[in-house]
Amino acid sequence: MASSSDKTALSFKRYPATTNRSLQPWNAADDHILQTVRENDLSEKFIAIYNDTFGYLSCHLHSSKPVIIVDRKSQEKSVQNNLKLNNLAENLVKIQTPLDEFPNPVELGIINIPKSMELFRFYLSSMNTVLDDDGVVICGFMTKYFTPQMLTIAEDFFGDVHQSMAWKKSRVLVLKGKKPVEQESAQISMSTDFGEIKQYPGVFSGDHIDYATQFLIQHLDLLETEKTIADVGSGNGVIASFIQQKNPGVELHLIDDSILAIESSKLNLKPENTTFHWDDTLSSIEVNTLDLAVSNPPFHFGYEPNIEVSLKLFKQIALCLKPGGRFLCVSNKHLNYKTHLEKLFSTVQVIAENDKFEVLGSVK
92-119 pLDDT tens trace: 999 999 999 988 899 999 999 999 999 9
- Give me the pLDDT at residue 299, please: 81
Instruction: Please tell me the predicted confidence (pLDDT) of residue 242.
Output: 95
Structure confidence by residue, pLDDT tens digits, 305-350: 889 999 999 999 999 999 999 999 999 999 999 999 999 999 999 9
pLDDT of residue 11: 96
Query: What pLDDT does residue 5 have?
Result: 47
What is the structure's pLDDT at 72? Answer: 96
Domain boundaries, the chain: 28-178, 188-363
Q: So what CATH class is 28-178?
A: alpha beta
Contact predicate 41/104, CB 8 Å: no
pLDDT the model gives residue 104: 87
Identical fold for domains 28-178 and 188-363, yes or no, is yes
Write down the pLDDT at residue 77: 98
pLDDT digit string (tens) for 128-175?
Answer: 999 999 999 999 999 999 999 999 999 999 999 999 999 999 999 999
Q: Which fold has domain 188-363?
A: Rossmann fold (3.40.50)
Provide the pLDDT confidence category of residue 273 given band limits of 50, 70 and 90. very high
Q: Mean pLDDT in the chain?
A: 94
Is 80 exceeded by the pLDDT of residue 264? yes
Query: What pTM was computed for the model?
Result: 0.94
